[in-house]
Every structure is written in C-alpha cells, then in structure tokens.
A and B are shown apart, each in its own frame.
Chain A
Amino acid sequence: MVQVLINGLARGSVYALVALGYTMVYGILGMINFAHGEVFMLGMFGVVFALGLCTTLWGTSLALNLVVALVLAVLFAAGWGWANERIAYRKLRGANMLAPLSSAIGLSIVLQNFVMLAVTKGKVDFPHFYSDAFTKTHWTVLGARITLLQLTMLGTTAILCLGLWWLIQKTRIGISLRATSQDRLAASLMGIRVDRSIAGTFILGSALAAVAGAMVGMYQGVLAFDSGYSVGLKAFTAAVLGGIGNIPGAVLGGFLIGISEDLTSYWIGSDWKQTSTFVILILVLILRPRGLLGERVSDKV
C-alpha cells in the first residue's frame, strides 16, 4: 500500500508539471492549450536526441550529458511552445472560441503524426545507461521500495513549483503575467507587452513539460509518438480537478490523479485507468464544477 502511494506520487509529480502548462494558459487566455500534451512528447524525444548529440560530440559522460541534454530539450520544447502560440493561437485570439481550439487540435495531430513519420511508428527506448543510475539506486522505506529516480521526480517537481510561485509572485515577469490574465486591455495600456506575456506563458509551460518528459522517459524506459496524448488528457483532468486557472490547484490535482491511477491499478486492474480518470473528471464536474481550489467564475455582462 505504501508502495502504491509512492508510485502514485512519483507519477503524479509528472502530471502536476504538465497540468501547470494547461492551467497557466487557461489562466491567461481562457482557452485550453490543446497541443500541450504534444509539446510534452516532443520534450521526451528532445532529451533522447540531445543525449545522442552529446555522445556524438564528446562521448559518454553521465552527469554532463544529462544536464546538457535536459537544457537542450527544454529549449527545444520551449521553441515548440512558442511556435504553438504563434501558429495556433495568436492570429485567432479575437475569434470565436472554436477557432483557436480547432487550430490547436490540428496542430496537435500534425505534431503527433510528424513524430510518428519522422522518428518511428513503434517505441523508442530511453538509453538505459542514463536511467539505470537513477532506477537501480533505491532505499526501503516502511517496507516499500523508493528509487532515486522517484525521489528526483518529487524533488524536481517541488523545486520547479516553488520557482514558478516565486516567478509569478515576486518578479516583474510575474506581475506582467498576472496583469495580462486579469485584463488584457488594461495591461497593454499600462505598458505591458501582452503578446510577450502570452508567448512567455506558453514557453514557460512547455519548459516545465519538457522536464516532465525527461523524467517520464527515464521512468517508463520507452517513449512513443502517442505518449503525449494520454498524459495530456490526464494532466488536463488534473488541472480541472484542482480548479483550472489555479496554479496550486494544478499541482494538487496532478498528485491526486497520479495516486488514483495507481490505486486503480492496485485494486481493480491496470486496464481500467482511463475509465477511472474519466469517472473522476465527471464526478468533479458534477460535485464541484469549479475544482477543488478554484474560484467561482461568472461571465462578464
């Protein structure tokens, strides 16, 4: 049982990081960032390709390669996040809600199939050499096994969440993000560059997703072009569960979804994960539509 909780928390930390991307974009634009799951998937592939690049350039070196690859993957995913905003959202910001959503769905299909055609239809193994160091080291706590990787996942998520909180609450960038999310016109009149704030939100969310992608790649050992789809769906559920647009809510939701998934596998069977996620989503929408930590939103008249 403790084991199930630990696994669930580790998995949940990934959903939390991805859910942040959904909730931040929703907070600032009021729209679902549909291609976010794909950006996460591109981050996963980015890490593996960057590890390959490092090996090609200077050979095998565990720590150095991992750090460099992570930085490159974050930049790669951030670039895709930026492109996502520029292609699917910017031009359609004033249009009917359906238009940016449709273009983002289109983009997400393009990205998924692009990776399928450009890399492989099957699965790609994460280079074991790099992940073994994290998965083989483990401790026993209360009869349960906790690996270094799981600890790293939890720690990284905690540090990134605190960092994000600091960025949003304490820095000038954060002020312009918050101002843009509250009133775009007023923010632009105050000299805040709204286009940049919105692009920045996409970039920030994508960078977090890339880190999550790196960790999932190591954790599961394989990656595929469709990995982003189900993680994206679960992370979105997490964001709704916590209250979409609410940053602590997304983190809480992520952990809850992760735990619920492992509990479902433990009690019912791993074939029922999607169904349990869906049932949770529906229950949240019925019982507490604004999410656990969300505030009430009313339409402006």
Chain B
Amino acid sequence: MKHRTPLFLTLLVLVLTAPLLWWTLEGDYSIGSVKLAFAPAHGLAFFLNLAPALALGALAFGLVKLRDRLPRFRMQGKIESFKEKPWAIPLVLLVLWLPGLFLGSKGLSQATFAAQYVILAVGLNITVGLAGILVLGYSAFLAIGAYSFAILQQWIWLPWWLALPVGFATSALIGWLVALPCLRLRGDYLALVSLGFAEAVRELLRNGGDLTGGDKGIVIQMTNRIHGIGPFSSQQVAWMGAATLALLSVAVVDRIYRSRLGRAWVAIREDEIAAGSMGIPVVRMKLLAFALSAGFAGLAGVLYGGFTVFVDPSVCTFEESVLVLAMVILGGLGSIPGSVAGAILLFLVPTWLRDWFPAMQDYRLLIFGMILVAVMLTNPQGLLGSRRHRLEIEEGKP
C-alpha cells in the first residue's frame, strides 16, 4: 500500500491541475457564453518551460545522493582552529577582494547582490535555523534598513558606511517591538504576524506621501552613495564593502552560535519547556534572536540602498522574504555554511538560468516553492545541514 502513495499523489495532482492547464477560457462575459477551449499547446508550453528547472532539480538531488558515497574529509578540526586565528578574517577578506579586480561590471553587480543575500540568509538563520521561530516577513526589515538610510540621508550628511549602524539599530529595534507581543504565545503565531507586518510595512511605504516617496521611492544623494575610491571603481568598492560585511556577518553569527547564547537558542528550538527549566530565559532569548536577525536585514538594506542608489516599496515583497527563507531551508536549518551556500546558489543559479532561458523568469517562484516542498519531504534537515549532522555522529562514536 505504502509504496503506491507517491504514484497516487502524482495522479491526484495531475488530475487537479488539468482543468487550469489544458483548457482556456474564452467567450463573451456579459451574455454568459464563456466557454472552455481545449488548448494542448498551452499545457505543453508550461511543462517545456519548467523542464530545465526540473532537470536541474533532479540533478541536484542526484548529487546529494552521490555525495553520501564520497569519502569524507575530516576537516572539522582544522576549520575550527583556523577560525580562532587572528589573521583568519583579513586573509579570507583579501582572497574575496581579489576577484573584484578582474570581474566585469555585470559580474561585480551579481557578486555584490550575492553577498547581500549571504548577509540576509545568515541573519534569518538566527531565528529560523537556530531559535526555531519561523519568520515570513523578513523583507520588511530589509525595507526598514533601506528606508531608514534613504529617509535620513535626505536631511543630514549620511554616507552609506555611516548609515550601516543606523540601519542595523532601527531594524533591530522595530523587530524587537514586533516580536514582543507574539513571543509569549505558542511559536507559530509569529510566522503570520511577521507576514502581516510586512504587508503593513509595504502599505505604509506606498502611502507614506513625501516621507517615503510613495511608489516612486527615494533616490540616494550622490554624496551618500557607494562611489569609487582612488583606482577602484564604484562597483569594485561596492563589492569590497559587501564582501567585508558578509564575511563579518558570518563571523559574528558563527561566534554567537558557538557561545552560550547559541546553545540557548538551539535548546529553545529543541524543547522550550526543558530550556526554561535549565535557567534559559526563553522569551528574552527569542527577542534577542529576532532583534539580531532583523538587524542583519537592516544592514543588508543600507548596503542595498548605497549600491542600487534608490529604494522603493519593491524591496518589501513576499517574494523577497520567501527567497531568503528558501536559502536558509535549502542550506540546512541552523547551519551557517549551509546558509552561505544556499544564498549563493539560490541567487546565482536563477540569475544564470534567466540569462540562458528567458522564459524561465516567471517560473522562479514556482521553482522555489517546489524546492521548499521537496526538501522538506525528503530531507527536512536541509541539503547541507544533513552532512554536518552525520559527520559529527560518526566522529562522536566511541
């Protein structure tokens, strides 16, 4: 019986999708003669456009299966000791900066965006991955960071690098305030409250009149944008800044993760009541997680403003929130390297796919949704999280 479930579900989905896929509506609405017309080309086009993504997905899952058979490298210990070296961060930073000298303008801009998503994914990983609180409106905090920079720089001299702490603090503070009423309740409320919050923020931005510039948004003034320094072009500076921020975010989150705070978050994720009984202030720790998470989004928001030179309400969309969530989940809940890899993959692969198969553009979200479902059903630990998991179990064997 059991092995027939996937087949049965596939049939069910095929039957249920059929009417909308293989038939189209046509006719005169006012006299009620709206008819269904059989349109096989319509349905076929859908599957043809989806095909490259499906093939890629199958390939990715195949690689994951293959990975388990590869010999394992025992790098864990070496990486741990490397991380503690004082010269580790400058060294990695130099390695990251170098390619910026050779990349073209398109490559630089993609790399900068990828770094921005790394900050977002690592930040969201704090709440979703470590503390186990689902957040669906993460882009609201990106928008708050970007707009706090954009609004303030109209009145005072505020170059982007000076705005970074401002964006971080504003987002973190607002995040803290939003989470405050929900965290005393059972965990899953916050998911939808954050979603409602993002909707409200977008509405506020669009209706904010002169303050937010409405749908048109705000242009960042020349003096406050990211611009070139000495021999470096503005795009090279943007990449260096983004790479630095991304690396620092990763390092900071990693260090918090390995401190008592990180352990407390994981304990809360695993069992709230037991965590409380072990002296962990559950509500306060969740608020801290949420505020920090929001803060990193604010940081990314300022970077975004400085780099794209204008901000508008489109930074605060459900699509954006879901994209970052998919990065965290795909990479593996709670795994920091996983979030970094998830961010880079889920930003770059669709970008390249769009260049190669322009028709795929509209299928992006559909594919993210499929990834979320597929990963949850086959590998709830996430694609990269599972490996670390198994590795440690094996090393831990007496």
Would A and B touch once assembled, by the CB under 8 A criterion? Answer: yes
Residues of A within 8 A of B (CB): 31-32, 45-46, 48-49, 51-53, 55-56, 60, 62, 65, 76, 79-80, 82-83, 86-88, 91-92, 95-103, 105-119, 121, 124-130, 229-230, 233, 236-237, 240, 269, 271-275, 277-279, 281-282, 285-286, 289, 297, 299, 301
Give every chain B residue within 8 A of A282 (Cβ-Cβ): 178, 181, 193
Q: Is the CB of B188 within 8 A of A97?
A: yes
Which of chain B's residues 183-228 have a Cβ closer than 8 Å to chain A?
A: 184-189, 191-193, 195-197, 199-200, 202-204, 206-207
B266 touches A (CB below 8 Å) = no
For the complex, give the distance between the alpha carbons of A111 and B366 in Å. 8
Cβ-defined partner of A83 (8 Å) among B13, B31, B46, B362: B13
Give the residue name and chain of the A residue nearest to B207 (CB). A271
Give the residue name and chain of the B residue nearest to A285 (CB). B181
Cβ-defined partner of A240 (8 Å) among B15, B189, B365: B189
Q: Is the CB of A274 within 8 A of B369?
A: no
Q: Give the total of B residues in contact with A, Cβ under 8 Å.
A: 71
Give every chain B residue within 8 A of A111 (Cβ-Cβ): 369
Q: Is the CB of B36 within 8 A of A101?
A: no
Q: Is the CB of B203 within 8 A of A92?
A: no
| Min CB gap A202→B, angstroms | 13
Q: Is the CB of B376 within 8 A of A286?
A: no
Give every chain B residue within 8 A of A116 (Cβ-Cβ): 362
Given the known interface contacts A83-B16, A285-B181, the answer about A98 and B134 at a Cβ–Cβ threshold of 8 Å is yes
B261 touches A (CB below 8 Å) = no
Q: Is the CB of B373 within 8 A of A129?
A: no
Chain A: interface secondary structure? helix
Q: Is the CB of A56 within 8 A of B36?
A: yes
Give every chain A residue within 8 A of B134 (Cβ-Cβ): 98, 101-102
For the complex, give the distance between the alpha carbons of A113 and B362 in Å. 8
Given the known interface contacts A92-B376, A106-B370, the answer about A114 and B17 at a Cβ–Cβ threshold of 8 Å is yes
Give every chain A residue within 8 A of B103 (Cβ-Cβ): none
Cβ-defined partner of B363 (8 Å) among A83, A99, A117, A297: A117
- The stretch that binds A, out of B21-29, B81-89, B157-165, B386-394, is B21-29
For the complex, give the distance between the alpha carbons of A229 and B21 in Å. 21
B291 touches A (CB below 8 Å) = no
Q: Is the CB of A48 within 8 A of B25?
A: yes
Contact bitstring B273-297, A, C-beta under 8 A = 1, else 0? 1000000000000000000000000
For the complex, give the distance between the alpha carbons of A230 and B318 in Å. 11
Q: Is the CB of B16 within 8 A of A101?
A: no
Which of chain B's residues 282-332 have a Cβ closer than 8 Å to chain A?
A: 318, 322, 325, 329
Give every chain A residue within 8 A of B196 (Cβ-Cβ): 233, 237, 274, 277-278, 281
For the complex, give the distance between the alpha carbons of A46 and B25 in Å. 12
Cβ-defined partner of B203 (8 Å) among A55, A275, A281: A275
| Min CB gap A61→B, angstroms | 9
Give every chain A residue within 8 A of B25 (Cβ-Cβ): 48-49, 52, 119, 124
Q: Is the CB of B188 within 8 A of A101?
A: yes
List 4 extra interface pairs beyond A285-B181, A299-B186, CB under 8 A: A87-B373, A100-B376, A117-B46, A289-B184
| Min CB gap A160→B, angstroms | 23
Give every chain A residue within 8 A of B173 (Cβ-Cβ): none
